[in-house]
A and B are shown apart, each in its own frame.
Chain A
Amino acid sequence: MSEHVGLRGRAWFEALTGIKQPSTGDPGTVLASEAQIGDETALFLCVVPNPSSRFPCVRDGQVGLEEAFTLAHHLRRVIAQDREKPKARKRPVVAIVDVKSQAYGRREETAGIFFAAAASSDAYASARMAGHPVISLVAGQAFSGGFLTHGYQANRILAFDDSGIVIHAMHKEAAARITRRSVAELEELGHEIAPMSYDVRDYAKLGLLYKLLHVDDPQHPTTADIEAIRHDLIDAIQDARRGATDLSNRLQSDAAKQTRKAGIAVRTALEAQWQNA
């Protein structure tokens, strides 16, 4: 599966924007472009592998220092340009997500990748809170710190209903090692315990997804696929504009009310006790 990292992200970025190359001044690992969606222009962002990156630990599609600050750079530019515009005219942001993980490197830790990731998260959340519809399209993998840096602050998260989609806190081998299980046991457990699962249909049970999208082959989108997904994106953008700018919608779906009921109960209890403290 890992040999596909980034290919799907790149394919969908190209399909939706017509752009194949990074912007001038950007590293080879970030694709950023504005493109038409429906009757408006949106900012599309994608992190892709670059075998010749000057940071060795991002070459396979991980999110590192340059990637985080470049994402934040484009987001901050759009936020600033649209600052005076009414909410209905603030440009949507579409994060196309296909990231293996955050960069596991010494250079990155030394220069504070935690902070770079925070700056990107901040920029995504700031765009959302300013009223930009922020939509994540999970086209491949969305792992851990990579997803936190690129996409997890979105108002609406969309993902392909496909066995190649993995949204998770840690890849299977590492999670198996740390929780002292075999990979097979871990996969089995995922069917019983939804938050542990590596299957996107189980992920959908958590109530965090807006919608699962259907295409035959996410790596090779057809013209019909592209039109259909554009339609889904426009629908998500419109829904985001109608909704709150925080993440409260992630607790409001039927799936969330079922799977996240412990967390919802905590919120209710804390609210009740807060007033009297």
Chain B
Amino acid sequence: MSQTGIIPEFVRRQSFIELDGRKRAQSLFDEGTWKELVGPFDRMESPWLPLQGVAPQFDDGCIVIKGKIGGMAAVAIALEGAFQGGSIGEVSGAKMTAALDLATKDSKTGKRTAAILLLETGGVRLQEANLGLAAVAEVISSVLALRPHAPVITLIAGTVGCFGGMSLAAGVSSYVVMTREARLGLNGPEVIEQESGIDEFDSSDRTLIWAIHGGEQRVGMGLADALVEDDAGKIKATIRGYVQADLPLEYRSEQVEFYRDRVTALDTSEQINPMSLRQRWSNKTTGGLQ
């Protein structure tokens, strides 16, 4: 038996989760086609963090890379979960909105430019509070402006996950791709426990957290489109597939009556069992190449 034959597959593959935000974004592009825009050397940092004794970062935790994916124009916008929890501030938010708006402008004038949002974020950066919240509203608006012209693909790989206002940006995306290590929700477990008590949500209950917010559940219940392994090659191929795909005729977040009826049918007399909800809600999603 050859040496490679006995090394398990998970050891040989390139983990995506182990990459930082910048490397993740770079890894999605065709080789030699990408360029980072407003990178660290431009030193566009948060003006609000130093006023509060917090060290800013030259890229404000947001990386914008433009290039080609499968031969087609694309821009990837990555939030770096390791900087301030991937939180959205004025500068990082402006980078996202501006990149989305430029992709829309190009797409409307004949150069379809897909956007990939790599979201590892706890939501609004509290040191920039209202400018962060405003930025989220603007990102959502800009995603919706691009969506009729080019795919907007949210990729949540983990392990920070996508929470807070940016979960709405995921919710309005054309497609959502997740790994098993990724989580997606509006309120994180700690926040719910803090606001509504431990009886409502025990944030130390990891089984419960993954059952509710985990990638397998979100894809299984039809609120995300593809579950991918933590493998840079496979993730790149999945993203390429969505970048090249035809635009959907209807988006999930437009299917209001369908989901309103589902909510009406929920029994709220007790907590909802995630697994049985998944079974009831499965097999209905706008996106999904598989």
Contact = CB atoms under 8 A, between A and B. Distances in A.
Given A110-B277, A169-B126, A121 B91 contact: no
B55 to A, nearest CB: 15
A20 B167 CA distance: 33
Interface string A109-121: 1111111111101
B249 interface: no
Given A123-B256, A262-B94, A266-B38, A116 B263 contact: yes
B172 A195 contact: no
Contacts of B272: 106-107, 110-111
A175 B126 contact: yes
B27 interface: no
A106 B44 contact: no
A55 B271 CA distance: 10
Interface string A247-271: 1001000000001101111110111
Interface stretch (A8-16, A66-74, A83-91): A66-74
B1 interface: no
Contact of A263 (B131, B144, B187, B191): B131
B90 A263 contact: yes
Contact of A168 (B133, B187, B191, B192): B133
A56 B46 CA distance: 39
Given A76-B256, A266-B98, A269-B42, A105 B171 contact: no
Contacts of B126: 169-170, 175, 178-179
Interface string B260-286: 101110101101101001000000000
Interface string A129-152: 100000000000000110111001
B224 to A, nearest CB: 9
Nearest to A176: B126
A165 interface: no
Contacts, number: 252
Nearest to B60: A266
Given A57-B196, A111-B277, A118-B253, A129 B145 contact: yes
Interface in A170-199: 170, 174-175, 177-179, 189, 192-197
A108 interface: yes
A69 B260 contact: yes
A99 interface: no
B268 A102 contact: no
Contact of A105 (B47, B196, B252): B196
A263 B192 contact: no
A270 B218 CA distance: 34
Interface stretch (B135-143, B226-234, B239-247): B135-143
B44 A262 contact: yes
A36 to B, nearest CB: 26
Contact of B44 (A105, A110, A203, A269): A269
B151 interface: no
Contacts of A177: 194
A225 interface: no
A197 to B, nearest CB: 8
A119 B127 contact: no
A234 to B, nearest CB: 24
B129 interface: yes
A114 B167 contact: yes
B184 interface: yes
A147 B262 CA distance: 24
A175 B186 CA distance: 17
Given A102-B186, A104-B196, A169-B124, A73 B256 contact: yes
Contacts of A179: 52, 126-127
9 contacts: A69-B256, A104-B200, A118-B169, A122-B171, A122-B253, A147-B133, A174-B194, A189-B52, A259-B131
